[in-house]
Amino acid sequence: MLMKLPMKETLLMVALAVAVLLLIQVMGTAYGVRVLVEASCYAIIALGLTIQWGYAGLFNAGIMGFVALGGFSAMLLTFPVNQSFWESELSGELGMAFLKLFAAIALVAAVLQLHRLSVPRSIRVPIILMVLATLYLWVVNGFAPVSQSIVSQYGFIGGFGLPVWAGWLVGGVLAGGVAYFIGHICLGLRSDYLAIATLGVAEIIKAFLKNSDWLTRGTLTVSPLPWPVPGAGEVGFVMARSLYLSVTAVLIAIIFYLLHRAYNGPWGRMMRAIRDNELSSSAMGKDVNQRRLEVFILGCVLMGIGGAALATFNGIFDPNGYLPLNHTFLVWVMVILGGPGNNLGTLFGAVFVYVIWVMSEPVALFILNSISYLGDLWFAWEAPSDFTSRALQARVFTIGLIITLVLRYAPNGLFPEKVQHHH
Amino acid sequence: MNELVFFINNVVISGLTIGSIYALGAVGITLIFSILRFAHFAHADLMTLGAFFAFFLTSLFPAAGPAIGLPTAFVMLPLAMALTALSAVYIDKAFYKPLRSHGVKPIVIVMASLGVTLMLQGLIRMFMGTSARSMYIDDRKGIHRIELPFELANRPVVLTDPQILLILLLIVIVIALHLFLTRTRLGKAMRAMSDNPDLARVSGINTDTVVKVTWIIAGSLAAIAGTLLSLDVSLKPDLSFHLLLPIFAAAIVGGVGHPYGALAGGFVIGFAETLSVFNWAVILRPWRDYLWFDLPANMAFVSSEYKITVPFFILLAILVWRPTGLFKGKVL
C-alpha cells in the first residue's frame, strides 16, 4: 500500500527545514549546528514531558529540577578526579558523614516500622518526631564541618572521571529516583497537587545545587565538562558539534522507536485508557496509580538524560543557569504546540520553538533599539538605562501568551494525536 | 532577657507578619480552589500586581500619606485593591472562562494559570524593571522601638508601621469575611457553590455572580498582602516567586475550601519557617555552662537558603498523613 503523506504535517516539516536553513544561513554554520544540538537535547526533555502529559495526562511543573539533576550528574560523574582531595584525610571524614547519613536513614526506616510491634499511635508519633529531629541535627552537624573544610582547602570534591555515557545514565536514574519519591506521595491525589509538589521540588533541587559548594562549587560553576566526541580544539567547531549532534540524534532515534512501540502496544493503549477514563479503566482492574507512577518516572528519566546531554554540550555546570522559564515553560510550549501525545509533533515542536526562541533575542533587541533610537530622534525621549533587560521580558510575556492561546484555540497542537482505530 | 527580646523580634513578630501575608494569599487560593476547582498558580503574581498598582499610585500622589499620617501606599490601598480585583475578574473572563465553558479538565486551567503567571511577570518587569524598589517615596518607614519595663532587657522590641497595619487589617478582614460568608445571601451562595456546584445552579444561584465575587475577594486580599509585604520589605518583581509554594502549602494544610483553615495554615507555615531558621543557640546561651555539649555559633534547623524546603516538607507531610488538611477540607 502506498503511504499517503498528510498535507499539513508535510508542509509544517518543510517550513521547519526552511527555518533551520535560514538560521544556518544568517548566523553561520557553527552557530546553526549549536542551536540544533541544543534543540535535540530539548527534544529528549520534551519527549519525557510528552509521555507524562500526552500519554497519561500528568502535569509536571518542575521540569527544571529534573533537567538540573541530569546536568549535575553529568558534571559529577564525568569531571576529572580531584586527586589531592581524595588523598587527603577529608575524604575519609566525608565518608564518615555519609555513613552517619545512611545510619540515620536506616534508623528512620526502623522507627517507621514500630507499628508492627503494636506500639500505640499516641506513643509512636512523638517517638518518630523525636528520632527524626535528633537524627537530622546529628547528620547536619556531621556534614557541616567537613563540607566547610573541603570548600576552604580544595574548592570542591571534583568529579569521578567516568565516561560520559555513565553520567547521562546516572542523570536519568537520579531524576527517576526523585520522581518516584514525589509521584509516590502525590499521584493518588488530585492532579493539581502533583503540579504544586513538582514546582516545589524543582526549586529545592536548584537551591541544593546552588548552595552545596563542596559538591558543585555552587555559583562558581564547573567547567569544562568532557565531551563524548572529539572537542572543537581537535576537529573544529562545526565538525565537533556535528559529531555531538549525531550522538544526540541516535539517542533520540532509539528513544523515539521505543516510545513508538510502547504507544502502539498494549501498555500505551492502557495508558490512554487511564488518561481518558480513569474510572472505567480502574473498574477493568488496572492499577491506575501504579501505572501513572510508571509513566511519571519514565518521563523524568528522559528529562534527566536530556538535561545531562544539554549540560555536557554546554561544557559548564551552572546551577544559577537553570531557570523555570528556559527549562520548564519553554518545554511546555514545545509539547503543547507540537502536539501532546504525538512524538513526531513533539520533535517538531522542540526544534521549531527552540529556533524561534534563540532568534527572538536578537530580533527583540533590534526592535527595541530601533524604538529607543526613533524615540530619541523624534520625541527626545530617553530610554531608561535598563531598557534592554526590561525589553527581554517581552519574551516571558510572549511565552505565557502562547501557552494560554494554544490551550484555548488549538488544544491538540499542530500535530494532533492520532489514535488508531481497529474495526 | 535580651534573648527573649531577640526571640520576640525574630520569631513572634516576623512569624506573625509573614504568617498574615501567607494567610491572606491562602484565603484567596482556597476560595478559588473550592469554587472554580483549580489551583490558581497566578495568585502570587496577583499579589505582585497589587503591590505594583500601589507603587504606581504612590508615585502619582506622593504627598497623600504624610497628610494623614500613614504610609502613602497604605492610603492608596483601596484603589490598588479595586484595580487588582478588576484585573482578576478580567483575567478570568479572558483566559479561564472560555476554557471552563469548553468543559476542559481542571488541570488544563491550571496550565493556563501558569501562562497567566508568565504574562503578568513579563508585564510587571517590562514596566517596572527588574530591580527592587522602595514603596516609600515622600515618607519614611515608621519604626517603633518599645523598651520593655524590665531591668535586664536593654534591647527594644522592634515593630514597624506596616506590621502593625497588617495585623490590624487582618483582624478586620477576618471578621468581615466571617460576616460575609455566614450572614449575607451572596456569602451563603458561595458556600453552597463550593459544596456542590450543580445543586447550587439548579437551586437558582447565579453562578457567574458567585465566580465574579470570588475573584473580587481573592484579588483584593492579594493586593493587601502584596502591598503590605512590599511596604515592610521592598517591592521586587520576583516577589511572587517566594510566595507561591508557601501560600499553596498554607491552603492545603488548612484544608481546601476552608477560609479559616487557610488563615490557620498561613500562620502554621509562617511560624514553621521562622522557627526553623531561628538561631536557637541565642536562647541557649545563658545556660551554656550547664549544657553537656559545646554550644555552636549557629543552631538553626535550616539555613536561610533552604527556607523554601520548610513549606514543601510540611506540604508533603500533610499530603501523606492527612490530605484533607487540618480542618477536614475537601480532597477535590
Cβ neighbours, 10 Å, residue A322: 25
Query: What is the band of A364 on the pLDDT scale with cuts at 50, 70, 90?
Result: confident
B119–A401 CB contact, under 8 Å: yes
Cβ-Cβ contacts under 8 Å, A191 against chain B: 105-107, 110
- Structural domain boundaries in chain A: 40-82+156-409, 83-155
* Distance in angstroms (rounded) separating the CA atoms of residues B141 and B160: 7
Residue B61's pLDDT band, with cuts at 50, 70 and 90, is confident
Mean pLDDT of chain A: 88
3-state helix, strand, coil in chain B (%, to 5): 70, 5, 25
The end-to-end CA distance of chain A, in Å, is: 18
Using CA coordinates, name the residue in chain A closest to B39: A192
Angle, helices A266-276 vs A288-314, to 10°: value is 110
Q: List, for residues B115-151, the tens digit of each pLDDT value.
A: 999 999 989 888 887 788 888 877 777 888 887 777 7
ipTM of the complex: 0.88
Quote the minimal CA–CA distance from B258 to chain A in Å: 17
Write down the architecture of domain A40-82+156-409 according to CATH: Orthogonal Bundle (1.10)
B126·A200 Cβ contact <8 A: no
To the nearest whole angstrom, how far is the Cα of B315 from the nearest Cα of chain A? Answer: 8
pLDDT tens column, B70-87 = 888 888 899 999 999 999
As a whole number, mean pLDDT of residues A212-216 equals 87
| DSSP code at position B292 | S
Q: Which of A64, A328, A329, A404 to mutate: most B Cβ within 10 Å?
A: A404
Residues in chain B: 332
CB proximity list for A74: less than 8 A, separation 6 or greater: A164, A167, A168, A171, A225, A307, A308, A309, A311, A312, A317
Strand partners, B144: B159
Radius of gyration in angstroms for the set of CA atoms belonging to chain A, rounded to a whole number: 24
pLDDT class of B331 with cuts at 50, 70, 90? low
What does the pLDDT read at residue A142? 84
Highest-confidence segment of A146-160, A339-353, B62-76: A339-353
CA angle A215, A221, A224 (to 5 degrees): 100
Average pLDDT over residues A132-149: 86
In angstroms and rounded to an integer, the radius of gyration of the C-alpha atoms of chain B is 21
**Cell digits for A373?**
533610537
Query: For position A422, what pLDDT does the model report?
Result: 63
> Do B112 and A408 count as a contact with CB atoms less than 8 A apart?
yes
Q: Where does B2-321 sit in CATH, by number?
A: 1.10.3470
Going by pLDDT thresholds of 50, 70 and 90, the confidence category of residue A2 is very low
Compute the distance between CA of residue A308 and CA of residue A19 in angstroms, rounded to an integer.
27
pLDDT score of A4? 61
Amino acid (one-letter) located at A157: I
Nearest to A420 by CA among A342, A348, A334, A335: A342
Neighbours of A389 (CB within 10 A): 13
- Give the whole-angstrom CA distance, residue A118 versus residue A367: 71
Task: Kindly give, in sequence order, each residue whose CB lies less than 8 Å from that of residue B17, ignoring residues fewer than 6 positions away.
Answer: B163, B166, B167, B232, B270
Which residues lie across from A159 on neighbouring strands? A81
- Whether A59 has its CB under 8 Å from any CB of chain B: the answer is yes
**In terms of pLDDT, which residue wins out, B205 or B285?**
B205
Query: Are the C-beta atoms of B50 and B224 separated by less than 8 Å?
Result: yes
Query: Distance between CA atoms of A323 and B120, rounded to whole angstroms?
Result: 17
Instruction: Give per-residue pLDDT as tens, A234-256.
Output: 888 889 999 999 999 999 999 99
**Count of CB atoms within 10 A of residue B320's CB?**
12
Which grid cell is B273?
519557617
Of B226, B194, B187, the closest CA to residue B49 belongs to B226
Q: Give the pLDDT of residue A1.
A: 39
Taking the CA of residue A72 and the nearest CA in chain B, the distance in Å comes to 18
Measured between CA atoms, how close is A277 to chain B, in angstroms?
12
Enter the DSSP assignment of A317: B
Helix and strand element counts for chain B (H, E): 16, 2
- How far, CA to CA in Å, does B58 sit from each of B124, B134, B231? 16, 11, 11
Residues B130, A411: C-beta atoms closer than 8 Å = no
DSSP letter at B287 equals: G
Question: How does pLDDT run across B164-208, given as a tens digit for each residue?
Answer: 999 999 999 999 999 999 899 999 898 888 888 888 889 888 889
| Nearby residues of A265 by Cβ (< 8 Å), 6 or more positions away | none
Grid coordinates of B148: 520593655
pLDDT > 90? residue A175: yes
Q: Which residue of B has its CA nearest to A135?
A: B301
**Taking CB atoms and an 8 Å cutoff, what residues of chain B touch A201?**
312
Tell me which amino acid residue A134 is. T
- CB of A51 closer than 8 Å to CB of A260: no
Q: Do B106 and A191 touch (CB under 8 A)?
A: yes
Cβ contact (<8 Å) for A404 and B39? no
Q: Which amino acid is at A346?
A: T
What share of chain A in percent tops pLDDT 70? 96
Q: Which residue of B has its CA nearest to A59?
A: B107
CA distances A262 to A49, A269, B5, B69, Å, are 15, 9, 63, 69
Q: B121 and A136 in contact by Cβ < 8 A?
A: no
- Given B110, B126, B303, which is nearest A390 (Cβ)? B126
**Residue pLDDT, tens place only, A283-301:** 998 898 899 999 999 999 9
Q: Which residues of A360-388 are buried (b: 16+ CB within 10 A; e: fewer)?
A: eeeebeeebeeebeeeeeeeeeebeeebe
**CA distances (Å), A151 to each of A214, A392, B46, in order?**
5, 36, 41
Interface size, chain A vs chain B, as Cβ–Cβ contacts under 8 Å: 149
Yes or no, beta carbons of B252 and A196 under 8 Å apart: yes
**Average confidence (pLDDT) over A165-191:** 91
Task: Please report which confidence band the pLDDT of residue A275 belongs to, taking 50, 70 and 90 as the band edges.
Answer: confident
User: Would you put residue A46 in left (φ > 0), alpha (ψ -120 to 50) or beta?
Assistant: alpha
Residue B102 CB coordination number (10 Å):
11
At A100 the pLDDT is 92
